[in-house]
Structure 1
């Protein structure tokens, strides 16, 4: 009988591969956590600290060091971290060296509400609590804060945040009522009456044209009020 050596070699190779896979799989199951690492993605202003993240996990699971890999439920760990209101998204994984790593994206505040209750407004228009770890340098919102005015303020903040000049210079928004918003600038004494949130692009375009000319003429200090309420006009009131 003729022996098919090619077939035997193939079967032997498959057995070796299967054995290596089984060995690797068994070794992987026995791998334990050797350390914990927390990484913050993007903005380095820490509204939640590494210690806070570790505390959340320890409260839920106890000490994680030396915990076998098979006992880790990574999806649940992510959900635990995301219960913190400063966290937008969390990803937890175990490295080949056994380090349990949490990659965290924080929520990003774009305005701070100073009303009967104090909180941040984040870049998705949601309420975000103040942090004991870091105070964000964002416009302060004052005045008659209501549900509708808060929605309008978010639209104004989004526009400000997307404009380099406005983002650097606007330090406050005051709500007179739901159709009248005032802006306070970092270096100027005048206030800007924005009116409502209609035609924001046109209003700010006109304002920046006025600002450039007044700055060139050295007359910015002459004004107490700059109004953008009227169609395609900038109306100024002198001191």
Structure 2
């Protein structure tokens, strides 16, 4: 009977590889977490600290460092980090060296509501709690706050943030009533009656033309109200 040595060699090699892989996997699972690294991505990293993330994990998951890797459930750790109201996105993974890496994107406030309830409006139009670690320099939203007025304020803020001049100078949005909004500027005494959120591009184009001319004439301080509510025109009320 002729023996197929190639087949036997291939079988032994396969068994050896499987054994080594299983041994390596077993050793990997028995390894412990050597260190924890918390990385905040982007440039909006003011509302949550590394210490607060560590505290959150300890309170809801227990100590992670020196814990056996096989005991970790990375999805659960991600969910715990995401449960913090300041977190927009989180990714957690383990390196081959046993380091637990957490990459976190914090939420970005674009407006601050000052009413019966005080909170931020974030860049997705959602409510975001105030932070004990940092106060954002964003326009203040006041007046008759409702769900619809917040949606409109979000639309206005998005437009403002796309324009360098408006982003630097608009410091407040006052809700007179739903569909009727007033803007406050950093350096000017007048207020801008915007009306509703329709035709924002046309309204602000007209405003910028008025502002440029009034600034050239040194007459900005003469106005108390600048209204953009009327179709394709700027109506001013002097002091």
How do 1:153-164 residues align onto structure 2 when only pairs under 5 Å count? Answer: 153-164=153-164
- The residue aligned with 2:50 is 50
- The residue aligned with 1:223 is 223
Question: What CA distance in whole angstroms lies between the structure 2 residues aligned with 1:206 and 1:24?
Answer: 70
Q: Which segments of structure 1 move beyond 3 Å, counting only runs of 4 or more?
A: 1-13
Question: What CA distance in whole angstroms lies between the structure 2 residues aligned with 1:76 and 1:15?
Answer: 35
The offset of 1:6, in angstroms, is 4.2
Matched, 1:139 2:128: no
Q: TM-score, normalized by length of structure 1?
A: 0.92
The offset of 1:215, in angstroms, is 2.5
Structure 1 residues 3 and 167: CA distance shift in structure 2, 3 A: same
Question: What CA distance in whole angstroms lies between the structure 1 residues aligned with 2:50 and 2:91?
Answer: 14
Q: TM-score, normalized by length of structure 2?
A: 0.92
- After TM superposition, the structure 1 stretch with the greater mean CA deviation from structure 2, 59-68 or 8-17, is 8-17
Structure 2: tracts of 5 or more residues without a match: none
How do 1:87-236 residues align onto structure 2 when only pairs under 5 Å count? Answer: 87-236=87-236
Question: What CA distance in whole angstroms lies between the structure 2 residues aligned with 1:220 and 1:12?
Answer: 89
Secondary structure of 1:206's partner? helix
Structure 1: tracts of 5 or more residues without a match: none
The offset of 1:61, in angstroms, is 2.5
Secondary structure of 1:120's partner? strand
CA RMSD across the alignment:
1.8
* Residue pair 2:121, 2:127 contacting (<8 A) in 1 also: yes
* Residue pair 2:86, 2:129 contacting (<8 A) in 1 also: yes
- The residue aligned with 1:238 is 238
The offset of 1:129, in angstroms, is 0.7
The offset of 1:128, in angstroms, is 0.9
**What CA deviation, in whole Å up to 9, does each residue of 1:140-162 have, x standing for no partner?**
01112122222211211121122
